[in-house]
Each structure stands twice: as C-alpha cells, then as structure tokens.
C-alpha cells in the first residue's frame, strides 16, 4: 500500500516521538501509525498530540492519573484520551502511558547477538 504525504509525515513524527521508548510502530487500517499494547493502543492524533484508545475500562482511572492526559471520549465500554507531547523532548507521561498499556517494544540486539548473526556460532565455540 502506498502512503500519502500526510501518512508519511504522521509516521515520521510519531516514530520520532516514541523512539526513546523503543515502541513497535505499525500502520492502522487507514495507514496512520499506532503502537499496540495489551490493554490498548497509542495513536497519532495530529502534530503535538497522541491519542490513547482502550476497551479496558478499568484502565481509565489509572491513565487519567498520568500528568497531562485529558479526556476526549468516554463510553460505556471504551474510551479515548489525549496527551500533548513535544517532538525531541523527554516525554515521561508518554512512557507512563506506554507502561500502563503494556505497549510492545522493538527488540534491540546485543553486540554478541550481532556477532553471532554475522559470523555464526563457531566464533564462540572453544577449540578441542
């Protein structure tokens, strides 16, 4: 699927905001970026704002306790909250939200794992 310029710009902005948290970013059905978690997802909602969506109503009070999070839409079985974030700045509130939602992270290889991929396991096997 080809991305529009708006989708590409949203993807670049969202990825730069969540990069320090190493969140795994995927595209939703419309092509905009989201970070999935066990109890909900973090979505791009416009420059400077991310949306928090969840169908786990018991998480609402915990998420509203995070500084900067405000209500947007609250229903009987789902809710959507907004969190203003700044690109290029530390976002402790976004980190707290990601931990509460148990957002999935990207795996980073250690130096040993990189060497094993490049040279195989024989590099670390002892000679008889």
For the stretch 86-100, pLDDT in tens is 876 778 999 999 999
The verdict on domain 5-124 having CATH code 3.40.50 is: no
pLDDT of 113: 82
pLDDT of 108: 79
Sorted by sequence, the CB contacts under 8 Å of residue 19 that are 6+ apart come out as none
pLDDT of 52: 96
Tell me the domain boundaries of the chain: 5-124
Query: Rounded to the nearest 10 degrees, what angle do helices 92-101 and 5-18 cross at?
Result: 90
E strands within 1-128?
25-27, 33-36, 41-44, 49-54, 70-74, 79-84
Q: Is the pLDDT of residue 126 over 90?
A: no
Choose between 17 and 126: higher pLDDT. Answer: 17
CA distance 16 to 9: 11
Confidence of residue 125 (pLDDT cuts 50, 70, 90): low
Arithmetic mean of pLDDT, 72-101:
90
Note the pTM of the prediction, 2 decimals.
0.80
Of 103, 95, 99, 61, the C-alpha closest to 81 is: 61
Q: What is the mean pLDDT of the chain?
A: 88
Arithmetic mean of pLDDT, 78-93:
87
């Amino acid at each position: 699927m080809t991305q529009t310029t708006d989708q590409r710009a949203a993807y670049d902005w969202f990825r730069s905001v969540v990069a320090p948290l190493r969140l795994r970013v995927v595209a939703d059905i419309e092509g905009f970026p989201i970070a999935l978690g066990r109890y909900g997802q973090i979505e791009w909602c416009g420059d400077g704002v991310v949306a928090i969506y969840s169908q786990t109503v018991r998480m609402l009070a915990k998420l509203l306790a995070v500084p900067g999070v405000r209500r947007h839409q609250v229903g009987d079985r789902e809710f959507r909250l907004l969190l203003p974030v700044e690109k290029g700045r530390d976002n402790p509130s976004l980190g707290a939200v990601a931990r509460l939602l148990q957002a999935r992270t990207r795996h980073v290889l250690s130096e040993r794992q990189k060497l094993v991929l490049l040279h195989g396991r024989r590099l670390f096997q002892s000679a008889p």
